[in-house]
Chain A
Amino acid sequence: MKRITGRFVLLIATAAVLPLLLYGSVSVSKLTDGTEQSVTRGNQAVAQQIAAQIKLYFDNSHRVLASIAGDLRGTQLEQWQKEEILRNHVLDFPEFREISVFDAANRVTASSRVGISTLKIPSAVETGNGTAVAYYVAPPYIDADALPTTTMAVPLVDTSDERGWIIAEISLEELWRTVDRIKVGTRGYALLLDEDGNLVAHGNPDEKTLIALREAAASEERTLADDARKSQVPLAAKFTNPHTGEELLAVGAPIDNPRWAVIVEQPTEDAFRLSRQLQVQLFAAIGLALLGTVILGWVWGRSFIQRIFALTRVTRAIADGRMDERVALSGQDEIRQLGDAFNSMADRLVELQEEIRKQERQAMFGRIAAGLVHDLSHPIQNIGNSCKLIQKMFEDAEYRETFKRTVERELVIIKRVLDDLRNIARPIPLERFPVDLNKTVADAAEAMEQHAETAGLTLRTELSPETVYIEGDVFALGRVYRNLILNAIQATAPGGLIVIASEAHSDRVQVRIYDTGCGIPPERLGQIFEDFVTTKRRGLGLGLAISKKIVEQLGGTISVASEVGKGTTFVLDFPRTSARPMLVAG
């Protein structure tokens, strides 16, 4: 990671959030387990309460029947009176559909039914197996409407010690109402299983159809009920509802009489909703904390790095030449001190730059002055001397002629120097005609041949075989060649070589002047075409600048390549012209 901001953020995130994440994960895990256990325990308690409630349902029914037994025992009630008692109880206690009294011979002696009783003594009671308990609830059986129903038998002993039974048909609908009233959470419900694991009641309205269809309870439900009956404590299990595919938290609790079981089922999505909500909230809190920390780190990082960015920006501006840029940093820390130091440095830099410019200006003026003195003192002195002599030899006609030539010659030199000075500041007046480039090169080489020979150098021309024309000024071009050849002669030791060559291309032509001289140091190559730059002790240093100007005015370019100790090559590149010079008659 290259950016400080990122490093900053990562640092803070690692230092602050990782511990938070770890703690949060552990908390969530513990919370989930704890909540699920708590919910399960809660549901177990509910199941136990429901089992007690169902037991109470039967206990209350027993109490009612026992009170009937008490009303009937040892009394000499008439048949209609007994029937009235039974019928009033059926009317007042909706949990009974019918109540009938059986004598020891298992004959109906009274019934709440108008007509023949539909009840029978349960077989277990008949065989004496059910007499040990206060009441006996028969295994559910299917009634005429194909619904399960059951009967409750309460022993009836009258004063003559004759045994009998009060049998009541339990209203299935009333039992269902009791079970339906049991709500756990928002979607939990209870169901009743008999001793054989058959469904007797189901609190889920969409699954009551299972009872009508006489479908067995799910195997997990039966197992849970059996285990609860064996252990006599509520047990819990999770399984998937085979009809809906939903995961359920199921708790089974036994009922001892009848030996049924209550199963409380609640979709885990509902049961553990609170735990999951807390989980989500915790994750959200952690997420927010992380986000907050990251933002904070980013903000801090940015505010820290902004000042460095500002410093960088100003540094770049100064590097680009905008010397008046300064950085303004807030704060009182080391970054601020750095900024202040930077500003001081920039101020000093400007001062130094100004000094250097002044010095360069002075040097340049000095050079110009020296060059002017050098170039002008000789002709001015010659003119001065000639003026002194003419005063003495004015009568001498020949001397007057010599005086005129000398003055004219020296004035030309002075004029040339002044022209050069003037031309460097403005376009050089050139005439542009189609010229034969090779001829201009050849003429210049011929003119400088003697000079080169005197310097002990070989001057050679290598011209392109093709005649090439350019739009040029013959005299200006000559000056350029002579300047470059002269520079080559001055830079090359005796025995060296100077070559001037022309090379034609499709639409351009190049003139190359190279020597085997001392070469130009690389640091000076960039300034070689500038005004008043010279390596010579004397002169204005305008030769190459004027040559460059002439070449560029003719639509060409000039470039230089050099290697110290090997030599220098100047390349002039001109566009070719299809025009041809006009032939002058004569």
Chain B
Amino acid sequence: MLRSFLFAEGLLALDWQGRPWARLATSVPEWEDEGLTLRVHLRPDAQFHDGTPVSASAVVKILKQKIAKSQTSGFEAVKSLDTAKDGSVVFRLSRPDGFLISTLATALIIDEDKPNVGTGPFRLVPGKENLEAVRNTSYYRGAPEIERVEVKPYTTARATWVGLLRNEVDMALEISKDSVEFLEGAARFRKIKSIQPFYIPLVFNLRNPILARTEVRRAISDAINRDEIVSQGMRNRGQVAVDPIWPFHWAYNNGAPHHTPDPLGARERLDAAGLPVRPATPGRRASRFQLKCLFYNVDPQFERIGLLLQRQLAAVGIDLILEGANEKQLVARLGAGDFDSYLFQLTSGRDVSYAYRFWHSPEGALGQVMQNTGYNGADAVLDRLRQAHEEPDIRVAVGDLRQRFYEDVPAVFLAWPEVTRAVDSRFDIGNPSDPEIFANLWRWHLASSQTASR
């Protein structure tokens, strides 16, 4: 995310509601030929950091590099990619693919042969241990006032907060939820709170024969009190999630159905599913079945949420066995399918393409998808969503997808965490319309009469 804000850009970008806006392009392109052609005109004043112009040929070359990569998703429907005489870049598709627009927002225009050369407001300083960038005085939207940006990684959000207190950094990407209130009244910091496009689900592995049953998953969803997760597990710093669709997306409709806590109903469902509570055995509680849950143990928030889930599910007779794992272990286990469920944070993105990538089954998917849970209950709707390129069609498809996630639960979508970013009040970040303040980092400047150097 920081790379896209600082160093490199796509042809387009997405606003807070998931609508595209032009970045290296002059305008958001319109679909032609009933969604099979897309023509993108490029800004004439944009340059790479090495001074070369962002020409159509350069863009085509870079995009073809991405297309050639087997790991790339988003361009699968692109049949051809050419430059036109008017200097535009023309995409011709084999079939309609509405996600191409969001792909153009996420695909950063960086030549593989020159990986440190971007187009953004800051230039990468190569050879540094941490991400470091200096301002690009030739940036087409105006040279930033900030001369240098250095990104310092911390292991936890709590450690980030401490780094801010210790004056080691000027801004923090995320303050631990436990610590947000301690910034109240501190004149030195400005806090910006917002829901970010990440959600916390309890994802099921449908290869588990018990979890393969829809009624079981629905019962688990009914047993979980999401409000308690948010209040006790996240100190009320978040909002309940209904599904993985970005709640601020322009096509999001608040009228979709959602699960409400119903432990009694959950027990009844489980009883009806033929899963009675079995007596306790040595070393094991009385339960209907055991469910292993991997959780990301580097962030203590997930352990706490896991314990809450454990208690809530124990109340309906499900024994949730928690197992901590770091990111590497988690990815390895998920990739190997070695899990019953996992508790982690997934990105929704500001558009709906991520829903496709996470929740479409690998079979028949257009491009690389990320989930390996065996879920295919939303494939048809996801395919329809992908092909839609007119607004009314997209709205209908989003509504149908949300209905699908309600009926055929692939995961218990728990919460959208509230992220608190903190910036030293020496910086004037203006009044950003985008709650993602770092999107306008290149516009920040020191408040009058302040100096800052590190």
Q: Which residues of A contact B (CB under 8 A)?
A: 78-81, 84, 87-88, 90-91, 97, 112-115, 144-147, 171, 173, 176-177, 180, 205-206, 208-209, 211-213
Contact = CB atoms under 8 A, between A and B. Distances in A.
* 10 closest residue pairs by CB, A with B: A212-B165, A205-B186, A205-B185, A145-B159, A114-B322, A173-B178, A209-B165, A145-B158, A212-B166, A115-B324
A206 B165 contact: no
A146 B285 CA distance: 38
Given A90-B307, A205-B185, A212 B283 contact: no
Nearest to B156: A145
B306 interface: yes
B162 A80 contact: no
A209 B179 CA distance: 13
Nearest to B165: A212
A79 B283 contact: yes
B96 to A, nearest CB: 47
A74 to B, nearest CB: 19
Give the size range of B's interface with the partner. Answer: 35 or more
Contacts of B283: 78-80
B282 to A, nearest CB: 7
A91 B167 contact: no
A128 to B, nearest CB: 33
B134 to A, nearest CB: 28
A176 B182 contact: yes
B427 to A, nearest CB: 17
A87 B183 CA distance: 29
A180 B159 contact: no
B182 A114 contact: no
A146 B159 contact: yes
B284 interface: yes
Nearest to A211: B165
10 contacts: A80-B283, A87-B310, A88-B311, A114-B295, A114-B303, A114-B324, A115-B324, A145-B156, A146-B159, A147-B162
A208 B314 CA distance: 40
Contacts of B284: 80
Interface in B289-324: 295, 297, 300, 303-304, 306-308, 310-311, 314, 322-324
A91 B308 contact: yes
A405 to B, nearest CB: 122
Interface string B276-289: 00001011110000
Most buried by A among B183, B310, B314: B310
Dominant SS among interface residues on chain A: helix
A114 B188 contact: no
A211 B188 CA distance: 15
A206 B188 contact: yes
B354 to A, nearest CB: 29
B232 interface: yes
Nearest to A214: B166
A264 B392 CA distance: 63
A75 to B, nearest CB: 15
Nearest to A87: B307
B184 interface: yes
B285 A80 contact: yes
A91 B165 CA distance: 27
B68 interface: no
A141 to B, nearest CB: 15
Interface string B182-226: 111111100000000000000000000000000000000000000
A562 to B, nearest CB: 91
A146 B166 contact: yes
Given A113-B303, A173-B182, 6 more contacts: A80-B285, A112-B307, A171-B178, A209-B165, A209-B188, A213-B167
Contacts of A90: 304, 307
A177 B181 contact: yes
Contacts of A146: 159, 162, 166
Nearest to A97: B300
Contacts of B311: 87-88, 91
